[in-house]
Structure 1
């Protein structure tokens, strides 16, 4: 696949960054207003533990939320090719998967799949 760099690149190449931003637009965490220039690209499977650099394994987050992704305070869950966040219970008592931006026809929150 064109946007699959596997284990050959740890840092996300610009072409892959553009594809991630076309899909997600902003930091994944709902309500985050960080500018696109402030976004970092998170390997949802840590690269140091064998994760790959490819479109369905990379999610955008601002610096603060990227740290929360790394420490699993905010969890990323993939559903049908889209990354969703699960916020801690104190921030989201309903415990639904959420996105800051969803493409047309996709809701901004869904129940956790079983």
Structure 2
């Protein structure tokens, strides 16, 4: 899709639903059917329409992010939300723990060859 289309089509929408399972914003419980796709890098400033630049957000959190105080950091295609200084002076990235329990704020590192072989059946 890239820059040719501004809106996420049905295929990309299904991919966002499969990945995010609902609103991606920190601990929001709104289901995917009530969410809309949002560009983490705004389309208006050359953001591309693709899964790695999209997040599902409920209307409330979509408006909150659009106000520009929260930043979305895509890490390996997963959305992390960086709060404004008045919410968290350290601006630690946050993720929706309601749907994604076992996550950290660090970038996941690739598995070593020994770890890969240990995980194989």
TM-score by length of structure 1 reads 0.77
The corresponding residue for 1:53 is: 49
CA RMSD of aligned residues (A): 2.2
- Encode CA deviations 1:69-114: one digit per residue, 9 max, x unaligned: 1122221011222111112344446632222133x7x51x4159xx
List runs of 5+ in structure 1 lacking aligned partners.
none
* Residues 1-114 of structure 1: pairs in structure 2 closer than 5 A: 5-92=1-88, 95-100=91-96, 101-102=99-100, 106-107=102-103, 109-110=104-105
Question: What TM-score do you get using the length of structure 2 for normalisation?
Answer: 0.73
Counterpart CA distance in 2 for 1:111 and 1:96 is: 10
Structure that is richer in helix per residue:
2
Give ranges in structure 2 of 5+ residues lacking alignment.
108-121
